[in-house]
């Protein structure tokens, strides 16, 4: 692990890109943006290559920032952080490639030239790269104060992405998104300050995660601070009562923005729960487990039911994520290594699956000019390849075995069942509801008779996915299938992290009722 | 005369009267006079306490109050004049454009 | 090595050996069709011309390897007939370690042969049947995907691998039922099939979760060895959950509504998936989990009940259907009911269930393909009331169909006679009521199969105007002949109890059970009951001319049978309608409730703002008054605080 | 000492209330003067001769006079109407005042100040010297700042009161054209007013000048006097003119009669005693500003 500041470089590259893209002008903006995002991916892969699975926090850089408060500019990457960084670094070039010229076309094509003039795709790509830089910073920050600052900073590009590009009514959605997140941020600020007070009482105040994790916070203080952190993360990763911003945002924003929001930004919520809630307040997390699990279960069923009842395609996909985040939170708070690893894998797989579904839905909407499911139908005959990819993405969303989402979903279900059979049973109903909303959506949009009006091949609706569009989605589908059969790379990163976390929280997995008999010779057969 | 409490009470009463005057009267100049009344009341209190503590600082303060009151009156009346010139009325309620 | 002997029968433990010789090619059996599917689906237009040949070659290749493995197994001693191969570590989290492992033992090899054998024949048949369908390449791709998934299901050594195959098969059936997607009915049928399968999969998922919780692993080896010590409650729960999964996949009573709609798919699909292989997955699951069911008697009785009910349910539906494929689907449901009944009888029944499964695979596939050939000749018209006197127009199809007919009604000497007879016999011994129902079912089977034969091949012509049936090309009739031969000679598997002994290392032996009445008498009774069924059918449909249109004023029983005994109506009423109401309710609540709170908060703030705005009324004296009130508040609080 | 206090207190409080209650602004100003002067005397009782002097000279003398100037400019007779325009203002104001008064009086009366040390030793070298010592030692900076304040106030007042000339100063040509235009529109007298002394019979300020045709010139009397109605009537002067005309008529015989057609209608005596009747005739049309 050379002392080359890999992580800082990884942050600076997209920032530089974000600064350069508007300067370079609309013609080259897309290409430059893509190059910068690919370079970031390269740096990410380089870090992954040098990352040793079982050594905990690596590539750490710690510089004093505000010594009065014990604030450091501290970066570091561990199992969970690495997976999230790679997910972000993979998704951003895909989003840029997928929404190549979307931001330039007029209203129908999610253009931004109708009013607040965010500068078309150059603006879109600049904001995207800015969002990527800040999200990476959030995943890499090992100083709670730095985490809080970039946690709030991500809202700026997100606001402009939602508000600048998308369909009518996007600015209202953007404001709603911002207010919700700021409310969460406010509560989190209370928590961060509380942390300072607690750590100041016990010697020199320090916001370093390692120091905070070794801090012995009183039970009541721990619980209060836990609640502040949890509320902020529950809003970020939409959980039942505070989820209403998600549907509006994904409905009005462009599919590319929705991918960045749902697949990267929302992960900060669950990432925060794992790293901060469980990390700093292990006792309080266990104290709050029943409530959290109840909320998660409600989110699973509620989100799925909502998704079934939707008519807008993007809104439907957005709401499926509410159900999926319920699964992730459930996995985190059942406190078993299967649950934790399942949740971490779920965060990655959901990122891939939902991103594919959003982008493909975007292609379909652009072709049909409408996002209303009732108005679509018979698209499969016109564009079979798009329909095929859409089906694979849909099956990934409902967790078909053989695709990566199944592995994570099944781990969460098993751990939920181990926690309590009823919790497992309710969680499992989620997979049936998932089957219903995915297949019903697929049936109403893709299959069925093709309306005569769209018969002639000149119409955009009968233009099948272009090479660029396939190139954007193909890596996602390939990853979904490959990781479905061979999830070991993910597991190598997640298992040690969750192992350390569980031992830090002081929880051991429940042994099976029947201990395996003296290893029969069948065992060696493996 | 060894107790200044009556002076203080008198000053309080004058001050209260001045306050009520400011709130009740509508003619700008009368309002202004009431303000002067309040200032005088406070001067009385200052001088009374100077006497009480045997320290001339109170009187110095009263003196400064007078100076400031003079400056204030000059500017106040100039403002009233300009308002009157443009609006042909010296009523305080007429200048009420700056509202919801 | 046996688990333990309890109540006279011993339950074998799954204890596979390492791979050797041909078994190292075990993974190839799955890889071939999987590769075929990948090439066909990803290949695109270029593979159109030769795609279907590649598609057919794959299962044949797998069939060859399976035969080779069979020969190797036959050569081995009885105790070493199960071999496992570890491919790679699939999921390993903490102590939940699941490998991608394969297992071949006597039970699996039979299924391999059935799947790849009948599968190959159906692929050959499909070349002809789908010859002028524009998307033939995609059809063969889906078929190969199905074969690969089914092979994974039967060859997997742990329940998670089995679940992978299980859902893969569900997906393939979704794709194939909805193959002609432009037909809304096909798309709806496909979705219905998948969703109902998914309901069954809840049972499977929870069962696997319980396996992990109770045994710490999902592999057959560990579970079968540890089954003895597990608690009764857990075992019964697992048994019932497995039964729920089996019902979903094998279209047994609670979750049977999708099978008849699945006939929307092309006929080879119905033959392969909804007759021979997929629907029998439930029976395989119960047989494979014999170490669970043996120790959970309640679960076994549940299986018997489900088998018996479905047995009658399918038969009754079969009688009333005019659509030839739906009639055959009804009969499939009933025959699987027989198999589930047999599997529920415990060690006695497993062998006979599998034996009937194999013979059913032969004659049912034969009849479905025969029906396909009939439809092929009649311009894809499925209504039997437009058939009649086809025996002269399509002699080969008639001959092969007749073989299948004789086999299914259990005509002495034919394969169906041997397998079904023994199931009835075992049922009478184990649970008499079920035995009587099985006997009754045999009679009803005779009735509806004869009705089908008479309406299709005998009587006078009821063809529509421009229809002139012709014999199908040889590429379709050859598989029919092979299958017809198998349906006739299927009984050979039972010479000298071969199949029972063959399966005993997997399902355990059972001592000869004393029959209440001599075997010969029992067989005679069965034949008489079947003959009665045939006679009644002949009276109703043979002698009197069959009306060309479906009579309306019929007895309520027939009306009920026509409506699948209101299976769909029950599902609609109990699940779909309330579900739709619940969904719209939730959407309404979310809009007004959760979102309402947010919007409400916003309007409260705006209202407050409007109210406070009025304070700014422009009068200096009002402001002076507010200053005074401020002063007063300060003074009063100071006074109060000091007191 | 306390006797003077009580006397003055009894004078001051009603005077202060008067400032509040009296209708006319001028009366309020005068009452304020009473309050200020009695205050000055109180300063004397509190051993503050310098302040006594400053109070009277600066405060009452200068500042109050400033009030009167402004009153004069704004219209001395502007009286407030008793009706309160802002809803609930009067009630709340009085209530607030009462509460404030009660709390102050009750609160202050409870504090026991104890014996006053008196300023005898402080004023030993004379009040003014002592004041000067403190003023120019510790408060010299404050003193300088107040001087700056005063200058600023003066400049401020000048700026506020100064009216910027928005339109260019009207030259002779413009005024001439304007005069003709006024005459055309409103028949305003075109020519210059008679210079003082012409046809004048009296130099009293309340007697209007006469135009050549014998009609009194209303603008020659101050609007304030006209408003007060004490303008002497011109016709009373007409008799002398008639005598002169009759004399001329007799000299040049009957044809001089045309000149006597001048309206000398009323011709009542010089009636400065009932100004109301005549004042209306000669009252200036310009409205008396409030």
Chain D neighbors of C635, CB-CB under 8 A: 100, 103-104, 107
Q: Hey, where are the domains in chain A?
A: 287-510
Tell me if C3 sits within 8 A of C225, measured CB to CB. Answer: yes
Of all residues in chain B, the percent with pLDDT exceeding 70 is 99
Q: Which residue from B29, B51, B72 is facing D74, i.e. has the nearest CB?
A: B29
Of all residues in chain D, the percent with pLDDT exceeding 90 is 27
Chain C neighbors of D103, CB-CB under 8 A: 632, 635-636, 639
Helix boundaries (H) for C274-394: 281-288, 290-293, 297-320, 324-344, 347-377
Put simply, the answer to whether B22 touches C624 (Cβ < 8 Å) is: yes
Does A212 have pLDDT greater than 90? Answer: no
Mean pLDDT in residue range D200-229? 72
Query: Would you mind telling me the total number of residues written for chain C in this entry?
Result: 643
Contact status of C633 with chain D (Cβ, < 8 Å): no
Rounded Cα distance, C186 and A381, in Å: 14
Which residue, among D139, C615, C491, C243, has the nearest Cα to B61 in the 3D structure? Answer: D139
Nearest CA-CA distance, residue B13 and chain D, Å: 6
Mean pLDDT in residue range C380-407? 85
**DSSP category for residue C450:** H
Does C435 have pLDDT greater than 50? Answer: yes
Give pLDDT, residue B22: 92
Reduced to 3 states, what is the DSSP secondary structure of residue D277? helix
Reduced to 3 states, what is the DSSP secondary structure of residue A58? strand
Burial letters C319-351, b for 16+ CB under 10 A, else e: bbbbbbbbbbbbbbbbbbbbbbbbbbbbbbbbb
Chain C neighbors of D96, CB-CB under 8 A: 625, 628-629, 632
Contact status of B15 with chain D (Cβ, < 8 Å): yes
Put simply, the answer to whether A402 touches C582 (Cβ < 8 Å) is: no
Give pLDDT, residue C4: 55
**Binning pLDDT at 50, 70 and 90, where does residue D95 land?**
very high
Architecture of domain B5-91: Orthogonal Bundle (1.10)
Contact status of D83 with chain B (Cβ, < 8 Å): no
Reduced to 3 states, what is the DSSP secondary structure of residue C82? coil
Q: Which helix (H) or strand (E) segment is A445 a member of?
A: helix A421-445
Chain C neighbors of A488, CB-CB under 8 A: 88-89, 92
pLDDT in tens, C57-87: 999 999 999 998 888 888 888 778 888 888 8
For D107, nearest residue in chain C (alpha carbons)? C639
Which residue, among A325, A445, A363, A368, has the nearest Cα to A94 in the 3D structure? Answer: A363
pLDDT in tens, D236-251: 656 666 777 788 888 8
Put simply, the answer to whether C625 touches D89 (Cβ < 8 Å) is: yes
Contact status of B47 with chain D (Cβ, < 8 Å): yes
Does A4 have pLDDT greater than 80? Answer: yes
Give pLDDT, residue D156: 92
> Which string of DSSP letters, residue by residue, matches D130-175?
HHHHHHTTTSHHHHHHHHHHHHHHHHHHHHHH-----SPPP-HHHH
Give pLDDT, residue D198: 57
Contact status of B87 with chain D (Cβ, < 8 Å): no
Token couple for A249: 């945002």
pLDDT in tens, C515-573: 767 778 888 888 888 889 888 888 888 777 777 777 777 788 888 888 888 888 888 88
Tell me if A367 sits within 8 A of A464, measured CB to CB. Answer: no
Q: Which residue from C621, C632, C636 is facing D89, i.e. has the nearest CB?
A: C621
Query: Cα torsion for B70, B73, B79, B84, to the nearest 10°?
Result: -140
pLDDT in tens, C90-128: 888 878 888 888 888 888 898 999 999 999 999 988 888
Instruction: Enumerate residues 6+ apart whose C-beta is below 8 A from B78.
Output: D156, D157, D158, D160, D161
Chain C neighbors of D89, CB-CB under 8 A: 619, 621-622, 625
Q: Hey, where are the domains in chain C?
A: 320-562, 571-642
Put simply, the answer to whether B22 touches C619 (Cβ < 8 Å) is: no
Put simply, the answer to whether C625 touches D92 (Cβ < 8 Å) is: yes
Put simply, the answer to whether D13 touches B10 (Cβ < 8 Å) is: yes
Mean pLDDT in residue range D99-110? 90
Give pLDDT, residue D279: 42
Contact status of B54 with chain D (Cβ, < 8 Å): yes
Give pLDDT, residue C83: 85
Q: Hey, where are the domains in chain B?
A: 5-91
Nearest CA-CA distance, residue D109 and chain B, Å: 7
pLDDT in tens, D20-65: 888 888 889 999 999 999 999 999 888 888 999 999 998 999 988 9
Chains touching chain B, criterion 3+ CB pairs below 8 Å: C, D
**Binning pLDDT at 50, 70 and 90, where does residue D263 land?**
very low
Nearest CA-CA distance, residue B83 and chain C, Å: 14
For B7, nearest residue in chain D (alpha carbons)? D5
For C633, nearest residue in chain D (alpha carbons)? D100
Of all residues in chain A, the percent with pLDDT exceeding 70 is 94
**Binning pLDDT at 50, 70 and 90, where does residue D290 land?**
very low
Reduced to 3 states, what is the DSSP secondary structure of residue C463? coil
Mutation for testing the C interface, residue in B15, B26, B92, B99 having most C CBs under 10 Å: B99
pLDDT in tens, A344-369: 999 999 999 999 999 999 888 888 88
**DSSP category for residue C513:** P
Q: Which residue from A244, A388, A495 is facing C598, i.e. has the nearest CB?
A: A244
Tell me if B66 sits within 8 A of D135, measured CB to CB. Answer: no
As a three-state string, the secondary structure of A184-250 is HHHHHHHHHHHHHHHHHHCCCCCCEHHHHHCCCCCHHHHHHHHHHHHHHHHHHCCCHHHCHHHHHHH
Mutation for testing the D interface, residue in C632, C633, C636 having most D CBs under 10 Å: C632
**Binning pLDDT at 50, 70 and 90, where does residue D169 land?**
confident
Rounded Cα distance, C268 and C483, in Å: 13
Rounded Cα distance, C482 and A508, in Å: 59
Contact status of D92 with chain C (Cβ, < 8 Å): yes
Q: Write down the pTM of the prediction.
A: 0.79
Put simply, the answer to whether A513 touches C234 (Cβ < 8 Å) is: yes
Mean pLDDT in residue range B57-63? 91
Does A167 have pLDDT greater than 50? Answer: yes
Q: Which helix (H) or strand (E) segment is D41 a member of?
A: helix D25-45
Nearest CA-CA distance, residue D107 and chain C, Å: 8
For D154, nearest residue in chain B (alpha carbons)? B74
Reduced to 3 states, what is the DSSP secondary structure of residue A147? helix
Does A116 have pLDDT greater than 70? Answer: no
Put simply, the answer to whether B93 touches C625 (Cβ < 8 Å) is: no
Put simply, the answer to whether D131 touches B90 (Cβ < 8 Å) is: no
Does A193 have pLDDT greater than 50? Answer: yes
Give me the interface pTM, i.e. the ipTM.
0.72
Contact status of D121 with chain B (Cβ, < 8 Å): yes
**Binning pLDDT at 50, 70 and 90, where does residue B83 land?**
confident
Does A283 have pLDDT greater than 50? Answer: yes
Q: Which residue from C614, C617, C625 is facing B23, i.e. has the nearest CB?
A: C625
Q: How many CA atoms lie within 13 A of A302 on its CB side?
A: 23
Nearest CA-CA distance, residue D97 and chain B, Å: 6
Bin A178: left if φ > 0, else alpha if -120 < ψ < 50, else beta. Answer: alpha
Chain C neighbors of A402, CB-CB under 8 A: 164, 167-168
Angle, CA A309 vertex, CA A307 and CA A314 arms, to 5°: 50
Angle, CA A309 vertex, CA A305 and CA A313 arms, to 5°: 110
Put simply, the answer to whether C213 touches A513 (Cβ < 8 Å) is: yes
Rounded Cα distance, A189 and A149, in Å: 10
Give pLDDT, residue A526: 36
Token couple for D25: 């602004």
Give pLDDT, residue D244: 74
Nearest CA-CA distance, residue C506 and chain A, Å: 15
Chain B neighbors of C628, CB-CB under 8 A: 19, 23
């Amino acid at each position: 692990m050379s002392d080359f500041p890999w992580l800082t470089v990884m942050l600076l590259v997209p920032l530089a890109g974000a600064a350069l893209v508007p300067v370079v002008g609309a013609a080259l903006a897309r290409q430059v943006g893509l190059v910068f995002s690919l370079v970031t991916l390269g740096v990410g892969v380089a870090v992954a290559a040098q990352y040793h699975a079982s050594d905990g926090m690596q590539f750490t850089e710690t510089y004093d920032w505000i010594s009065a408060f014990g604030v450091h500019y501290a970066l570091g990457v561990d199992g969970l952080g690495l997976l999230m960084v790679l997910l972000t670094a993979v998704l951003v070039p895909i989003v840029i490639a997928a929404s190549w010229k979307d931001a330039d076309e007029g209203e129908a094509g999610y253009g931004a030239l109708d009013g607040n003039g965010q500068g078309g795709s150059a603006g879109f790509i600049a904001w995207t790269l800015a969002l990527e830089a800040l999200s990476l910073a959030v995943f890499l920050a090992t100083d709670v104060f730095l985490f809080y600052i970039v946690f709030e900073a991500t809202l700026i590009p997100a606001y402009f992405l939602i508000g600048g590009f998308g369909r009518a009514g996007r600015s209202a959605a953007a404001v709603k998104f911002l207010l919700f997140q700021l409310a969460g941020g406010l509560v989190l600020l209370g928590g961060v300050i509380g942390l300072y007070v607690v750590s100041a009482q016990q010697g020199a105040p320090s916001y370093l995660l390692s120091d905070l994790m070794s801090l012995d916070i009183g039970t009541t203080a721990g619980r209060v601070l836990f609640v502040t952190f949890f509320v902020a993360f529950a809003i970020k990763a939409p959980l039942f009562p505070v989820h209403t911003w998600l549907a509006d945002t994904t409905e009005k924003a462009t599919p590319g923005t929705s991918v960045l929001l749902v697949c990267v930004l929302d992960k900060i919520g669950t990432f925060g729960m794992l790293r901060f809630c469980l990390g700093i307040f292990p006792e309080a997390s266990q104290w709050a487990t029943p409530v959290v699990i109840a909320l998660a279960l409600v989110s699973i069923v509620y989100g799925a039911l909502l998704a079934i009842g939707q008519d807008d395609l993007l809104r439907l996909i957005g709401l499926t994520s509410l159900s999926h985040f319920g699964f992730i939170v459930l996995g985190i708070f059942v406190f078993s290594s299967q649950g934790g690893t399942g949740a971490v894998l779920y965060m990655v797989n959901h990122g891939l699956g939902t991103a594919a579904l959003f982008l493909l839905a975007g292609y379909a909407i652009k072709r049909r000019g409408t996002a209303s499911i009732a108005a679509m139908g018979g698209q499969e005959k016109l564009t079979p390849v798009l329909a095929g990819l859409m089906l694979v993405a849909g099956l990934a969303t409902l967790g078909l075995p053989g695709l990566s989402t199944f592995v994570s979903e099944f781990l969460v279900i098993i751990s939920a069942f181990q926690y309590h059979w009823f919790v497992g049973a309710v969680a499992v109903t989620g997979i049936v509801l998932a089957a219903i909303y995915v297949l019903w959506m697929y049936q109403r949009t893709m299959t069925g008779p093709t309306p005569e009006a769209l018969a002639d091949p000149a119409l955009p609706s009968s233009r099948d996915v272009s090479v660029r569009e396939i190139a954007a989605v193909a890596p996602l589908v390939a990853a979904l299938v490959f990781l479905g059969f061979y999830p070991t790379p993910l597991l190598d990163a997640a298992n040690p992290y969750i192992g350390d976390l569980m031992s830090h929280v002081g929880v051991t997995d429940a042994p099976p009722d029947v201990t395996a008999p003296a290893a029969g010779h069948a065992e060696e057969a493996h | 005369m060894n107790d200044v409490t009556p002076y203080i009470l008198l000053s309080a009463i004058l001050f209260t009267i001045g306050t009520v005057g400011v709130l009740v009267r509508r003619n700008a100049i009368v309002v202004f006079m009431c303000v002067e009344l309040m200032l005088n009341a406070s001067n009385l209190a200052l001088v009374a306490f100077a006497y009480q503590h045997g320290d001339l600082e109170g009187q110095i303060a009263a003196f400064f109050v007078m100076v400031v009151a003079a400056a204030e009156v000059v500017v106040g009346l100039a403002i009233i004049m300009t308002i009157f010139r443009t609006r042909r009325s010296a009523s305080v309620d007429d200048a009420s454009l700056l509202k919801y | 090595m046996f688990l333990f002997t309890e109540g006279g029968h011993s339950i074998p433990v799954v204890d596979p050996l390492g791979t050797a010789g041909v078994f190292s090619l075990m993974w190839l059996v799955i890889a071939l069709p999987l590769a075929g599917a990948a090439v066909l689906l990803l290949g695109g237009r270029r593979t159109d011309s030769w795609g279907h040949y590649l598609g057919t070659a794959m299962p044949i290749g797998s069939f060859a390897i399976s035969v080779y493995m069979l020969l190797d197994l036959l050569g081995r001693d009885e105790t070493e007939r199960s071999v496992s191969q570890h491919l790679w570590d699939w999921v390993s989290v903490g102590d939940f370690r699941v490998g991608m492992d394969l297992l071949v033992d006597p039970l699996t090899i039979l299924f391999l042969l059935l799947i790849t054998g009948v599968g190959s024949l159906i692929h050959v048949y499909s070349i002809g049947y789908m010859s002028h369908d524009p998307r033939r390449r995609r059809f063969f791709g889906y078929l190969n995907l199905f074969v690969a998934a089914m092979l994974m299901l039967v060859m997997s050594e742990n329940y998670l691998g089995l679940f992978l195959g299980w859902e893969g098969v569900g997906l393939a059936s979704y794709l194939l039922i909805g193959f002609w997607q432009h037909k809304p009915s096909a798309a709806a049928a496909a979705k219905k099939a998948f969703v109902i399968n998914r309901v069954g999969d809840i049972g499977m998922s929870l069962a696997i979760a319980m396996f992990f919780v109770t045994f710490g692993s999902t592999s057959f080896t560990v579970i079968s060895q540890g089954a003895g010590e597990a608690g009764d409650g857990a075992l019964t729960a697992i048994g019932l959950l497995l039964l729920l999964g089996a019902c979903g996949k094998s279209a047994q009573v609670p979750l049977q509504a999708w099978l008849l709609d699945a006939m929307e798919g092309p006929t080879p699909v119905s033959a392969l998936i909804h007759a021979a292989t997929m629907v029998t997955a439930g029976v395989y699951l119960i047989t494979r989990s014999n170490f669970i069911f043996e120790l959970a008697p309640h679960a076994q009785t549940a299986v018997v009940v489900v088998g018996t009910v479905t047995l009658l349910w399918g038969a009754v539906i079969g009688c009333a259907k005019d659509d030839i494929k739906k009639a055959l689907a009804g009969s499939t449901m009933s025959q699987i009911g027989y198999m589930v009944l047999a599997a529920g009888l415990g060690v006695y029944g497993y062998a006979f269930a599998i034996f009937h499964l194999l013979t059913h695979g032969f004659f049912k596939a034969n009849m479905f393909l025969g029906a396909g050939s009939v439809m092929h000749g009649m311009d894809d018209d499925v209504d039997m009331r437009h058939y009649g006197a086809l025996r002269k127009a399509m002699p080969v199809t008639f001959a092969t169909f007749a073989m299948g007919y004789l086999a299914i009604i259990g005509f002495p000497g034919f394969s169906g006679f041997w397998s079904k007879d023994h199931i009835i016999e075992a049922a009478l011994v184990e649970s008499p009521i079920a035995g009587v129902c099985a006997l009754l079912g045999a009679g009803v089977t005779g009735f509806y199969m004869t009705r089908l034969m008479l309406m299709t091949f005998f009587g006078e012509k009821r063809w529509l105007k421009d229809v002139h049936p012709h014999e199908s090309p040889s590429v379709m009739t050859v598989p029919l002949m092979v299958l017809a031969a198998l349906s006739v000679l299927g009984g050979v598997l039972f010479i000298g109890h071969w199949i029972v002994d063959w399966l005993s290392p997997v399902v355990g032996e059972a001592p000869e059970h004393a029959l209440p009445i001599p075997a010969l008498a029992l067989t005679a009774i069965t034949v008489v009951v079947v003959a009665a069924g045939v006679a009644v059918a002949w009276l109703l449909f043979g002698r009197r001319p069959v009306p060309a249109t479906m009579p309306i004023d019929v007895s309520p029983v027939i009306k009920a049978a026509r409506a699948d005994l209101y299976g769909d109506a029950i599902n609609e009423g109990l699940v779909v309608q309330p579900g739709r109401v619940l969904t719209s309710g939730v959407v309404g609540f979310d809009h007004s409730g959760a979102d309402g709170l947010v919007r409400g908060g916003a309007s409260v703030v705006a209202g407050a703002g409007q109210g406070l705005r009025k304070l700014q009324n422009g009068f200096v004296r009002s402001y002076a008054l507010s200053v005074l009130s401020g002063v007063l508040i300060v003074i009063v609080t100071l006074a109060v605080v000091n007191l | 000492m306390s006797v003077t206090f009580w006397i003055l207190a009894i004078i001051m409080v009603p005077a202060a209330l008067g400032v509040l209650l009296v209708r006319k602004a001028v009366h309020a100003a005068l009452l304020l003067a009473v309050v200020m002067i009695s205050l000055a005397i109180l300063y004397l009782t509190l051993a503050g001769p310098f302040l006594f002097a400053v109070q009277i000279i600066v405060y009452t003398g200068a500042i109050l006079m400033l009030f009167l100037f402004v009153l004069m400019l704004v219209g001395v007779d502007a009286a407030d109407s008793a009706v309160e325009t802002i809803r609930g203002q009067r009630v709340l104001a009085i209530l607030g005042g009462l509460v404030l008064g009660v709390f102050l009086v009750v609160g202050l009366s409870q504090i026991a100040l104890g014996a006053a040390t008196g300023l005898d030793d402080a004023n030993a070298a004379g009040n003014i010297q002592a004041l000067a010592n403190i003023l120019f030692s510790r408060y010299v900076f404050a003193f300088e700042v107040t001087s700056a304040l005063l200058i600023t106030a003066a400049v401020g007042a000048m700026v506020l009161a100064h009216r910027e000339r928005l339109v260019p100063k009207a030259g002779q040509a413009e005024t001439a054209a304007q005069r003709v235009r006024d005459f055309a529109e409103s028949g305003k007298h075109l020519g210059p007013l008679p210079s003082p002394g012409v046809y004048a019979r009296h130099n009293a300020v309340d007697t209007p000048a006469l135009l050549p045709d014998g009609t009194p010139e209303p603008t020659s009397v101050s609007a304030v006097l006209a408003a007060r109605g004490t303008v002497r009537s011109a016709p009373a002067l007409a008799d002398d003119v008639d005598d002169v005309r009759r004399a001329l008529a007799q000299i040049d015989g009957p044809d001089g009669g045309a000149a006597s057609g001048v309206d000398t209608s009323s011709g009542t005596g010089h009636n400065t005693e009932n100004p109301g009747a005549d004042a209306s005739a000669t009252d200036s049309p310009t409205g008396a500003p409030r």
